[in-house]
Amino acid sequence: MLYSAPLPYHADACAYFAAIRDMAWPAWLDSSGCGRYDILSAAPAATVVTRGGITEISNADGVYRHDGDPNEALRELMGEPIAPMPGIPFAGGVLGYWSYDLARRYHHIPDIARDDEALPEMAVGIYDWAIIVDHQELNARLLSRLRDAGTERTLEQVLGKLNSAKPDVPQGERLKVRGEVASNFTPASYRAAFTAVKDYLHEGDCYQVNLAQRFSAPATGDAYPAYLELRRTSPAPWSAFLDWPQAQILCASPERFLRVQHGLVQTKPIKGTRPRSADAAEDARLKEDLRNHPKDRAENLMIVDLLRNDLGKCCEPGSVQTTRLFEVESYANVHHLVSTIEGRLQNGKTALDLLRECFPGGSITGAPKLRAMEIIEQLEPQRRGIYCGAIGYIGYDGAMDTNIAIRTLVYSNGVMRCWAGGGIVADSTCEAEYQETRDKAKAMLELLGRFGGGCCNVG
C-alpha cells in the first residue's frame, strides 16, 4: 500500500525542512540544486544506534539490545522487501549515517587513534514516511508505505505542519565559532606522517594511503544556519543535514559511494583534485591538467581496481564494468577526477550485503584497503568518526543511495570539526598533498570564519 499526498513544489526544500525540524531526528538528504531528489523525514518509527559491540534499538515497545552485526539488526527491522515503484526513490526504510569507524566491526584495525568525538559508529532511523521533492518533474509528495502502526497519525501531524510551511527563518541562538580553528597536524607533524606513508609505499606495504587532517574549534548555538550557508556556497549532489541528539551533521559531499536501483549497482570514486580559479583561462588550464596528469590518472585507476574488486563480492560475475573513466566534475571550489563503476547484484544479495562488503569506501582509505586503514590508524591522531563514512538511505524496496561523508562538518559537545585528506602515492610531494587538503577544506574553513572562527593556525 502506498500513501501519497501532493505538496506544492519548491525549488528550495528548506521550507519543508523547517516545518518538520521540531520533530524527533529530522533528516534532509539534500541535492542542493545539483541532483534530482531531495528526501526529508523525521519522527522515525525506530532508532538504531551502535556503540562498540552493542546496538541499541528504540521503538514504541521500548529499548532493547542487539549484540550481532548492526546491519543484521537493520535487516530484521525492515522486514520483507517490497516492490519498487517508478519515480519514488524512498518511501520508508533506513536513513542515517554509518561512520568510518564502523569498519572496526568488519576488519581488524589496531586501536591507536584517540576517539575525541565519542559518537556512535552507526546512527540510523527506520523512517516510515518521507517528503520527496522531484526537481526534474517539478513536484513534491508526502509518501509512506504505512508499515508502522503509528504512521497514519504522524502523517496527519506532518500535513498540518507542511500546509503552514514558510521560507525558513532559523530559530534559536545562531552558531558562534569561538576562537581559532586548529588543525590536529602542524606542518612538521604532517610532514613526518607523510614521510612515514612514503616509507610504507617504498617498502611495498601499499600502493596508496589517504592521509587526512582535522580542523576544529569550540562553538555554541545552532549549526543549521551554517548548513544553509554551506549549501549556498558549496552546493553538492550528495549533501545532507542531520539534526540529531548525538550531533548536527553538515555535509556537502560531491561523491557517491553506493547506489542500488532495480538491482543495478553504481559507485563513483573521486581521486584527483585541483582548485578552482576565478580566471577562466587558468580555471580551464587546471581542469585539463587534472584530466591528463599521469599521477592523478594512476591514483584514480588504483581505486577503480579496488572498487571493482569490492563490488565483485556481491555482483554477478562479469557484470562489473568501468563505464566512465577519468571524467572531470567541477564544483564551487575544486575540480575532481571521477570514474564510474557499475554492476548487477547477485540473486540473494542485498544492498546491506553490498554496504558491508564495500565499507568503507576505497577512495578514502587507499590500497590495499586493510593495510591502508592500519596505517591511517597509526598516523592520524584522532579517529575519523563520521568523516569518510557514509550518509544515505536503504529503502524497504531494496534501493540504496549513500555518499562518502567528505566535505562534512560535525558539531557535537560544543566543538565543530571538519576534515580534508588526499591520497599519497609513490611520486607524491609533501607540499602538493598538504596544499590539496587545504584546497578541499577551503570552503569549510571559510564557513567557520564567517561564523566567528579565527584563521587556522597552520598553512
Catalytic residue (one of 198, 268, 271, 440): 271
Catalytic annotation present for 255: yes
Q: How far does Cα 204 stand from its chain's mean position?
A: 31
C-alpha cell at 267: 559507485
As a whole number of angstroms, the distance between CA 314 and CA 19 comes to 40
169 in any annotated domain: no
* Number of domain units in the chain: 1
Query: Locate cell 522531484: which residue?
Result: 134
As a whole number of angstroms, the distance between CA 220 and CA 197 comes to 37
| Three-class SS state of 385 | coil
Q: Cα separations (Å) of 320 from 265, 323, 364, 374?
A: 9, 9, 21, 28
What phi and psi, each to the nearest 5 degrees, are found at residue 81? Answer: -65, 155
130 in any annotated domain: yes
346 in any annotated domain: yes
Provide the residue-wise pLDDT of the chain in tens; the chain has 459 residues.
Answer: 899 999 999 999 999 999 999 999 999 999 999 999 999 999 999 999 999 889 999 999 999 999 989 999 999 999 999 999 989 999 999 999 999 999 999 999 999 999 999 999 999 999 999 999 999 999 999 999 999 999 999 999 999 999 876 655 556 688 999 989 999 999 999 999 999 999 999 999 999 999 999 999 999 999 999 999 999 999 999 999 999 999 999 999 999 999 999 999 999 999 999 999 999 999 999 999 999 999 999 999 999 999 999 999 999 999 999 999 999 999 988 999 999 999 999 999 999 999 999 999 999 999 999 999 999 999 999 999 999 999 999 999 999 999 999 999 999 999 999 999 999 999 999 999 999 999 999 999 999 999 997 766 544
Select from 214, 255, 232, 247 the least CA-distant residue to 410. Answer: 247
Q: How far does Cα 380 stand from its chain's mean position?
A: 20
C-alpha cell at 51: 556503540
As a whole number of angstroms, the distance between CA 255 and CA 270 comes to 7
Catalytic annotation present for 288: no
Q: How far apart are the first and last CA of the chain?
A: 56
Query: Locate cell 560535525: which residue?
Result: 410
Catalytic residue (one of 117, 121, 255, 433): 255
Give the DSSP per-residue string, 245-285.
SS-EEEEEE--EEEEEETTEEEE--EEEEEE--SSHHHHHH
As a whole number of angstroms, the distance between CA 154 and CA 149 comes to 10
324 in any annotated domain: yes
C-alpha cell at 110: 589496531
Give the DSSP per-residue string, 101-167.
GGGGGTS-----SB-SS---SEEEEEESEEEEEETTTTEEEEEE---STTHHHHHHHHHHHHHT--S
168 in any annotated domain: no
DSSP 315: B
As a whole number of angstroms, the distance between CA 168 and CA 225 comes to 10
CATH classification at residue 198: 3.60.120.10
Q: How far does Cα 343 stand from its chain's mean position?
A: 21
Q: Would you state the pLDDT for residue 169?
A: 55
Tell me the residue range of the domain where 199 lies: 3-163+177-450
459 in any annotated domain: no
Amino acid at 106: Y
Q: Would you state the pLDDT for residue 3?
A: 95
Q: Would you state the pLDDT for residue 167?
A: 58
What phi and psi, each to the nearest 5 degrees, are found at residue 18? Answer: -60, -35
334 in any annotated domain: yes
Q: Would you state the pLDDT for residue 164?
A: 74
| Three-class SS state of 299 | helix
β-pair partners for 49: 56, 123
412 in any annotated domain: yes
**Three-point CA angle 254, 260, 265, nearest 5°:** 85
